[in-house]
Amino acid sequence: TPSGILFSRITLPIMCKNKMPEGVFNLVIGTNEEIAETLVNDTRVPLISATGSTNMGRKVSAKVASRLGRSILELGGNNAIIVTESADLKIAIPGIVFGSVGTCGQRCTTTRRIIIHDSIYDDVKNQLVQAYSQLENRVGDPLDSDTLIGPMIDEVAVKTFRNALKAIREQGGEIIYGGDILDGYPSELYVRPSLAEVENHWPIVQEETFAPLLYLIRCQDFDEALRLQNDVPQGLSSAVFTRDFQESEKFLSHEGSDCGLANVNIGTSGAEIGGAFGGEKDTGGGRESGSDAWKAYMRRQTNTINYSSDLPLAQGVNFDLG
């Protein structure tokens, strides 16, 4: 991407200024066979950090592990927001909408599922439909400052989006907003952000669909909401909107979210700080940023130095050679 090229141009002079070996940092673009296969199989590369799908991560992990190398994996997410009975909808609705349609739903931390308490379900649903309808005129060129939603990345992504909508209908769900391609745009990469009423256990809901497609799921209480949130293979980002202190504490405890990122009264996307970023389960377990990141890229070595003229032995062992 252009940002990758720019980052490379910024970094290379810094490396040279600090007298790092030429070529220690490179941006290399090529096919999977040309680049990825070579890197993951090369024993001279002790650590591979890979970002992508869960299927990609399984292949990379297996190949790197077969040569006893190390890997950091940042894989798929199926991120949920729990909206409790006490939630402040003035901040919850904007947080949900930004998390679900920002970057046209093409972030690993994009909000995929909303788990809503039954008592406020209809209210949240209606507010989301209204908010989504107001976005119609904010889809367009991502370089335009008035644009809130840009295009899908390519035709394959649009096909995945369409297939997901078809699967929702086949599995018994209802598309309550969107579900089509927008007319009057330069290409068919511009889609209408969509809302669907579903059940959490359906196969399509268990998958990550990299698109502006948000699932609405009903729950009866907070414990059920936690079970539904955790009942997917992925475990990247999660959030809860609540004004109940006990609910927020439980969400952050060992009984709560099983994700690598757990947020309270802020969405799943855009809240990333300088802390350890990554997830559990099918998300891969890797961490970037924060204190964990630099440690993962280091080679650990334990040193013992004897400054005396005697030879002390471990555990006070006496090994007298006479």
**Which tens digits make up the pLDDT trace of 212-222?**
999 999 999 99
For residues 60 and 62, what is the distance between their CA atoms, to the nearest angstrom? 6
**Which tens digits make up the pLDDT trace of 118-132?**
999 999 999 999 999
DSSP-assigned beta bridge partners for residue 111: 79
Which listed residue (22, 37, 74, 255) is catalytic? 74
Reply yes or no on whether 108 is catalytic.
yes
Domain locations along the chain: 2-75+277-296, 79-264
Reply yes or no on whether 249 is catalytic.
no
C-alpha distances (whole Å) from 208 to each of 160, 184, 233, 314 are 10, 29, 10, 53
149 near 139, Cβ under 8 Å? Answer: yes
CA torsion 96-101-106-110 (nearest 10°) is 0
Percent of the chain's residues with pLDDT above 70: 99
DSSP-based three-state secondary structure for 306: coil
Count other Cβ atoms within 10 Å, centred on residue 229. 28
pLDDT at 176 over 70: yes
Element (H or E) spanning 47, and its range? strand 47-51
CATH number belonging to the domain at 79-264, selected among 3.40.50.261, 3.40.50.620, 3.40.309.10, 2.160.10.10: 3.40.309.10
Longest dimension (CA), the chain: 94
Which listed residue (108, 207, 208, 219) is catalytic? 108
The residues, any chain, with a CB within 8 Å of residue 284's CB and separated by 6 or more, are 54, 57, 61, 72, 73, 74, 75, 278
**Which tens digits make up the pLDDT trace of 18-63?**
999 888 888 888 877 788 899 999 999 999 999 988 999 999 999 9
